[in-house]
Chain A
């Protein structure tokens, strides 16, 4: 067992889930279960790749690329593209009152299709590996693996940003008034409405911002984690579902999600860090552990959990004032 590889590799991939689940937590706190997150993360990937490759393309010499501008282009475009997906979801569920599950799945279908199409058509991937080198070069260290070979680990700015966002999100819900209002909407929109909170406005903002943050996960995966290469939207989609699971696993707490994402990440890279010969089949079983753990958490909280660790009470239900 290569422990450092497991830990540091797990953290690295876990960051993807962390972005997705922080975004989904913000969305779900407003009472909306967004199953469009996998598709929205794909859209974020497309946007991020588009932004970064366009910036790199503008330069005469890619060696002179600035870290700040790469990040700026990447983040702005990833956020915007994902936010568009979120806006579609918000329009259909908040204003048009369509069923959240149905809209979410449709957005996932659309988002994944759109992203694959867009990336092939409009993104010049050759610049991305260069950009990736620059982005990754932020925290560097070397640790001897259990096999005895020293391995270089790198974490970029985007890794740090994910953790900062997760902490900021936790603080937002715990310490700020706007956070309190958003939580109230997810719990009991009629009460929030009665005390004069603009329920729909909050929902729109939460869904759109949450989607944008989830979209950064796609940017992180391609530009920072995967050396600028993109293989398939299916990979990103799978991360999206893991992010949705992570939200439940951490009981709607984004600070717990930091730890939870590392656990999920370690399980994800578990196989690559095994010494000796473990059967390929057993490795598949390890991959499904995150979902099993999530179900166990779901069951335990529904049977024994106090009211404080339940999903937002109005999760999945659209609010229509005249139904009061």
Chain B
């Protein structure tokens, strides 16, 4: 029997300002009544592609066919008319509304607006697919998984036959994932077509009929799940190893500078970001952190910098506990953190401030007297502009007016110039051109030579393999193991990132992330841990602060 096509994408291209290619010549076919996994590394253009089907973006080139006819999708409303619905990673829900109210929001229906009728229809949908939902419950009282359920029902209520789920499992517990998969299977039986974006290979193997792979915005191919294996998929996803001419500086490793034990951190929405992770950074060492986006990297950075509370665990800097210290004290100890978010502005920079003023965000208070020393800051800014070839009209230009790459150079440059002993940097080359990227790698290597300990959170595995000494892989907040960059392969990293390989399980005898020459003895660690745990309990019983 010939399978009917639900959606067909032909030669879809999408470019973003600054000559960034998000998608290039992507072809994709989704059949009716199937679950298709969309697989790809960070920045491979999966979400952008799906946003074009759901009407958030409009493709620059190419065509979309729905049920054999060409479709023009200019808004989410158009997408609904084509019976397409997308469940985004960031839920678009009104917090104080009930589930039912969110579900019917914006739906044009004939007849009287009756809450009873709506609740009935919601229950009907819920029963049909096995959702567990209380239509009267308000969003702000819900768990993440319940919110996701509301989003899915919202889409079904609008009569969607094609559902797109952007990393739906990232925020769920294993039990919740099982429930979700059961629902998805029921939908498939019901004739719905589903595209699911995920990074976890075991889930891909479990739920999907076919897998399509994207890499760096390009379409690589599609395979049937039953005829493939995780190894093949990983290879398609990460590609062949490309040799980069990044020098790995040899240094004599020093004692651990930063030691982190059993750290647990929560996200803003209360779900777990980092779950019981231990690692350490030596002076003169670059430790890479690999993992798919949103695996707790941001929360880890914030927690070390003192901007986010730590649920449990220890962060020791040169043998001293820095948990609970105000951000300023942590900066003074020489721990620098720079995180480049997706929009590149945000953490660490004040958008309306000039480059000069941004130079002194951490040390404006230095020097005597009530005045800020702008003279020194200006000289500092000038030097940085020259050194990093920052394109700007002047030192007094607000950073929000600079292009993304230049904003980043300001931030990373400032952090490194401050002369820290530990650098935590996340995505420092995000969106930079090749030359600027190499400039940043050189700067990091220089620091390494000086004996600085560096935690490098990155996206590009090739870069990490070339630059880092060791690489720690995180998958959904859990440590999958630490490997030597010289001894590992891209495939191994890929398998670990997607949760298909867990070295901590396989090599139980090895204590990942615990230094043999720690600044503290095991007994001291024990003691510290007990102490902080007691403190934490004390805090919790006092209630929220």
Chain A contact residues, CB within 8 Å of chain B: 175-177, 180-181, 183-184, 187-188, 190-192, 194-197, 307-308, 310, 313
Quick check: which of B10-18, B93-101, B212-220, B433-441 contacts chain A, the rest being far away?
B93-101
**A184 in contact with B105 given A194-B76, A196-B76, A196-B77 (CB within 8 Å):** yes
The docked-state distance in angstroms from the alpha carbon of A181 to that of B104 is 10
| Closest chain A CB from B338 CB (angstroms) | 25
Task: Please tell me which one of the listed residues A176, A183, A188, A197 contacts residue B113 in the complex, with CB atoms under 8 A apart.
Answer: A176
**A187 in contact with B76 given A180-B105, A181-B106, A195-B106 (CB within 8 Å):** no
Check A180–B75 contact: CB distance below 8 A.
no
B138 at the interface (CB under 8 A from A): yes
B255 at the interface (CB under 8 A from A): no
Give the chain A neighbours of B95 by CB distance below 8 A. 187-188, 307, 313
B140 at the interface (CB under 8 A from A): yes
Task: Please tell me which one of the listed residues B76, B113, B115 contacts residue A195 in the complex, with CB atoms under 8 A apart.
Answer: B76
B450 at the interface (CB under 8 A from A): no
The docked-state distance in angstroms from the alpha carbon of A184 to that of B105 is 8
**A197 in contact with B105 given A175-B113, A176-B113, A308-B138 (CB within 8 Å):** yes
Q: Which 9 A-B pairs have the closest CB atoms?
A: A195-B106, A196-B77, A177-B113, A191-B92, A187-B94, A196-B106, A307-B140, A188-B94, A184-B94
Give the chain A neighbours of B113 by CB distance below 8 A. 175-177, 180
**Looking at chain B, what size class is its interface with the partner chain?**
10 to 19
Chain B contact residues, CB within 8 Å of chain A: 75-77, 80, 92-97, 101, 104-107, 113, 115, 138, 140
A-B contact pairs, 6 of them (CB 8 A): A180-B105, A181-B105, A188-B94, A307-B95, A307-B138, A308-B138
The docked-state distance in angstroms from the alpha carbon of A188 to that of B80 is 21
Give the chain A neighbours of B115 by CB distance below 8 A. 175
Check A180–B92 contact: CB distance below 8 A.
no
**A307 in contact with B76 given A176-B113, A180-B101 (CB within 8 Å):** no
Q: Which of B77, B95, B101, B107 has the most CB of A within 10 A?
A: B95
Q: Which of A181, A192, A194 has the most CB of B within 10 A?
A: A194
Known pairs A191-B93, A192-B106 / 18 extra A-B pairs, C-beta < 8 Å = A175-B115, A180-B101, A180-B104, A181-B105, A183-B97, A184-B105, A187-B97, A188-B92, A188-B93, A190-B92, A195-B76, A195-B92, A195-B106, A196-B77, A197-B106, A308-B138, A313-B95, A313-B96
The docked-state distance in angstroms from the alpha carbon of A95 to that of B138 is 32
The docked-state distance in angstroms from the alpha carbon of A70 to that of B94 is 44
Check A194–B97 contact: CB distance below 8 A.
no
**Beta-carbon nearest neighbor of A312 in chain B:** B96
Give the chain B neighbours of A197 by CB distance below 8 A. 105-106
The docked-state distance in angstroms from the alpha carbon of A195 to that of B77 is 7
Give the chain A neighbours of B140 by CB distance below 8 A. 307
| Closest chain B CB from A182 CB (angstroms) | 11
Secondary structure at the A interface, as helix, strand, loop or mixed, is helix
The docked-state distance in angstroms from the alpha carbon of A183 to that of B92 is 15
**Beta-carbon nearest neighbor of B101 in chain A:** A180
Task: Please tell me which one of the listed residues B93, B96, B104 contacts residue A307 in the complex, with CB atoms under 8 A apart.
Answer: B96
| Closest chain B CB from A251 CB (angstroms) | 12
| Closest chain B CB from A230 CB (angstroms) | 41
Give the chain A neighbours of B76 by CB distance below 8 A. 194-196
**Beta-carbon nearest neighbor of A191 in chain B:** B92
Give the chain B neighbours of A181 by CB distance below 8 A. 105-106
The docked-state distance in angstroms from the alpha carbon of A197 to that of B80 is 14
The docked-state distance in angstroms from the alpha carbon of A180 to that of B96 is 11
| Closest chain A CB from B491 CB (angstroms) | 38
| Closest chain A CB from B455 CB (angstroms) | 32
Task: Please tell me which one of the listed residues A176, A191, A196, A310 contacts residue B94 in the complex, with CB atoms under 8 A apart.
Answer: A191
Q: Which of A175, A196, A313 has the most CB of B within 10 A?
A: A196
Give the chain A neighbours of B105 by CB distance below 8 A. 180-181, 184, 191-192, 195, 197
The docked-state distance in angstroms from the alpha carbon of A323 to that of B106 is 21
| Closest chain A CB from B257 CB (angstroms) | 41
| Closest chain B CB from A150 CB (angstroms) | 49
**Beta-carbon nearest neighbor of B139 in chain A:** A307
Give the chain A neighbours of B94 by CB distance below 8 A. 183-184, 187-188, 191-192
Give the chain A neighbours of B93 by CB distance below 8 A. 188, 191
The docked-state distance in angstroms from the alpha carbon of A175 to that of B118 is 12
The docked-state distance in angstroms from the alpha carbon of A45 to that of B77 is 43
Give the chain A neighbours of B97 by CB distance below 8 A. 180, 183-184, 187
| Closest chain B CB from A299 CB (angstroms) | 18
Task: Please tell me which one of the listed residues B77, B96, B104, B106 contacts residue A310 in the complex, with CB atoms under 8 A apart.
Answer: B96
Give the chain A neighbours of B77 by CB distance below 8 A. 196
Give the chain A neighbours of B101 by CB distance below 8 A. 180
The docked-state distance in angstroms from the alpha carbon of A184 to that of B92 is 11
| Closest chain A CB from B86 CB (angstroms) | 10
Give the chain B neighbours of A175 by CB distance below 8 A. 113, 115
**Beta-carbon nearest neighbor of A176 in chain B:** B113
| Closest chain A CB from B298 CB (angstroms) | 20
